[in-house]
Amino acid sequence: MKQSLTPTQNLGSHYNRTDQLHDQSIVISDKLISLAGSFEKKEHSWFITSHVPTDLTIQVQEITFNVHKYPLIAKCGYIAQLEFQPSISNFGYDLKLENLPGGSETFEVILKFCYGLPADLSPNNIAPLRCASEFLEMTEELEAGNLISKTEAFLTLLVLSSWKDTITVLKSCETLSPWAENLQIVRKCCDSIAWKASRENIPRDTDCNEQWWFHEVATFRIDHFMRVISAMKAKSTRPEFIGKCIMHYAKTWLPGMDMEFEGLRGYGIGRNDLQFSIMSTRKEGGGYGLSKEQKAIIENLLSVLPPQPEAVPCKFLLQMLKMAMMYSASPALISELEKRVGMMLEDATVNDLLIPSYNSADPGKLVNSPGHTIHDIDVVQRIVEYFLMHEHQQQEKTSRINVSKLLDSYLAEIAGDPNLSTTKFQVLADLLPENARTCDDGLYRAIDTYLKTHPSLPEHERRRLCRMMNCDKLSLDACTHAAQNDRLPMKTIVQVLFSEQVKMRKAMQEKELAPSGNNSEQEENHSSTDAEIKSLKAELENVKARMAELQSDYSELQKEYEKIKKQQKNVSRWSLGWSKIKKSFHTKVEGNETGESHPCRFSKRRSSMS
């Protein structure tokens, strides 16, 4: 005789919905009902409270379950096929379940189900129960409404209903490989998340918002996150939404992502902090394990970045480039990232381009040996070259001005590095064509900073650097500063003074030839205009006087140089004459000493002298 067992406790709203979906109840025999009681835990063992003695001991992980054999054989095909070994300690049998998905906690719920006791199904345990029921072969052939069908129905209903529950199920699958993959639980969860994201892009639930969703997705393991992103791409989700997910995930899992290097002014502090952060994470993770994990995260995130320019900002790309170089990521991915940054270079800032020089042999460690620059100049050079290539392909030159200002500001930052060579500085400054700069004030500031940092630079090196600068493109303020700058070569100062004179004369002419407006406005501004003209004239006279002084100094230096040159010639002639006299003297002495043996030579020399 069989009868229907009605649970005495509520199994949860989801469980009830699942039962309603199948419209069936758990059917067990009278013998099983007589065995059903409750579970009690004593230390590391579970006991079923029943008047019938237990005859089976099952060990799962460190927990031992003392149960009856019949309820398990009736619903678990895997256990029914086993040959039980008689127990040594009692009159029953011993069984050890190894590699059971979900472990002892999941098996406890399965035992309750087999005994007909209330078993709560929830988003946290539904995936382990589904995998464990598959492991134990709890199929419909053994009994209608067995645990496989129950969990599958509940999982389908749960996955399609709620964002939070779907995310919870997917997170619970991280410890269930490969069962969760083989049973398509991971795929269903990822497809469900991607489907919701493609429809709404952000959840509409009252207790959900965009920030919550990004935060939850950022807690996934990297392989599951990659599956979610791939599914979102397949559902044609907006690139901006995918980009936000990737950015939030990167900031969650990559320490130092937001750390900025403020040039040489604040670089030392940032460098020490960053190295300390990396070394501390290595110690916490045990050696280089965490570094390898973060390297894998970086490479995976770079491989799924949407190709659209609007997906992620240039700042994030440069942050990822710094992290990729810090952890020595794949050179192909780094090269592709540099190309993407080059396409968006006009949106970057100077601090974004300040990429430290990392030691490729020791990931995360900064290069601190003499002769190496603090910043990685070669990376920026390649990025600018990619920008020029992209600009040539697009045949657009509107962004050149912004990039030229950015590059000049970057040069001014790195010019304070004492290890920066003149050649590398000049190569970087000459990357942009001459017409890209409408004003050379930024370039002048960079050159002046470099000369200040390298006071022992030879004169020909100074002239070579200053030739990169077009004095005609300097503003009046820059010309005034350069005219009084002792670090510049004399020839450059003369050119600056001449350019300054031309600019002041032009400004005066524009003031005098400016079209007259209303009479009232002209009368109001007449006095101020006269004052400005007088001021400009006074400055022009000062410039003329300064230029005359410089020309006079230059002439005196030329005369002094010619005088020194003549003296050197006279000294060289005198030394040449002295050497001849000395030589003849030595010859004469030798003749005196050997006169007896060579009388003919001596008489011949005397006759010639006379």
Whether the per-residue pLDDT at 363 is higher than 80: the answer is no
Q: Provide the residue count of the chain.
A: 610
When pLDDT is averaged across residues 486-513 and rounded to a whole number, the result is: 80
Q: Which residue has the higher pLDDT, 496 or 199?
A: 496
Q: Which of 200, 174, 209 is closest to 189 using CA atoms?
A: 174
The amino acid at 495: Q
Q: Name residue 96's beta-bridge partners.
A: 59
Runs of H (alpha helix) within 395-489: 400-414, 422-429, 441-453, 459-466, 476-483
- CB 594, CB 587: distance < 8 Å: no
Whether the per-residue pLDDT at 207 is higher than 70: the answer is no
When pLDDT is averaged across residues 327-343 and rounded to a whole number, the result is: 93
The DSSP H or E segment spanning 47 is: strand 45-49
- CB 190, CB 170: distance < 8 Å: yes
Whether the per-residue pLDDT at 192 is higher than 60: the answer is yes
For 280-319, the pLDDT digits (tens) are: 444 444 444 567 889 999 999 999 999 998 899 999 999 9
Rounded to the nearest integer, the mean pLDDT of the chain is: 77
For 219-242, the pLDDT digits (tens) are: 999 999 999 999 999 988 889 989
When pLDDT is averaged across residues 581-608 and rounded to a whole number, the result is: 44
What is the reported pLDDT for 330?
92
The DSSP H or E segment spanning 4 is: strand 2-4
CB atoms under 10 Å from CB of 339, counted, come to: 16
Calculate the dihedral angle through the C-alpha atoms of 537, 540, 545, 549, rounding to the nearest 10 degrees: 180
Q: Which residue has the higher pLDDT, 34 or 134?
A: 134
Q: Name residue 2's beta-bridge partners.
A: 29
DSSP 326: H
pTM, to two decimals = 0.71
Whether the per-residue pLDDT at 488 is higher than 80: the answer is yes
Whether the per-residue pLDDT at 358 is higher than 90: the answer is no
Which two tokens mark 352? 């974004």
Whether the per-residue pLDDT at 442 is higher than 70: the answer is yes
For 522-541, the pLDDT digits (tens) are: 555 555 556 666 666 676 67
Compute the Cα dihedral for 572, 574, 577, 582 and give only its sign.
negative
Which two tokens mark 549? 């002084």
Q: Coil, helix or strand for 375?
A: strand
166-199 core/surface letters (b: 16 or more CB in 10 A; e: else): bbbbbbbbeebeebbeebebbebbbbbbbbbbbe
Q: Coil, helix or strand for 57?
A: strand
227-263 core/surface letters (b: 16 or more CB in 10 A; e: else): bbbebbeeeebbbebbbbbbbbbbebbbbbeeeebeb
Q: Name residue 57's beta-bridge partners.
A: 66, 94
When pLDDT is averaged across residues 429-442 and rounded to a whole number, the result is: 89
Which two tokens mark 367? 């290069």
Burial class (CB in 10 A: 0-12, 13-18, 19+), 318: buried
Q: Which of 420-424, 480-484, 559-563 has the highest mean pLDDT?
A: 420-424
| Of the candidate ranges 253-262, 321-330, 389-398, the one whose mean pLDDT is the lowest | 253-262
What is the reported pLDDT for 300?
96
For 393-429, the pLDDT digits (tens) are: 877 666 788 899 999 999 999 999 999 999 999 999 9
The amino acid at 19: D
Which two tokens mark 278? 């990396």
Whether the per-residue pLDDT at 14 is higher than 70: the answer is no
Whether the per-residue pLDDT at 42 is higher than 70: the answer is no
User: 178: cis peptide before it, omega within 30°?
Assistant: yes
Which two tokens mark 370? 């003499």
For 77-104, the pLDDT digits (tens) are: 998 888 776 666 555 677 888 889 999 9
What is the reported pLDDT for 357?
87
What is the reported pLDDT for 56?
83
What pLDDT band is residue 271 in, cutting at 50, 70 and 90?
A: very low
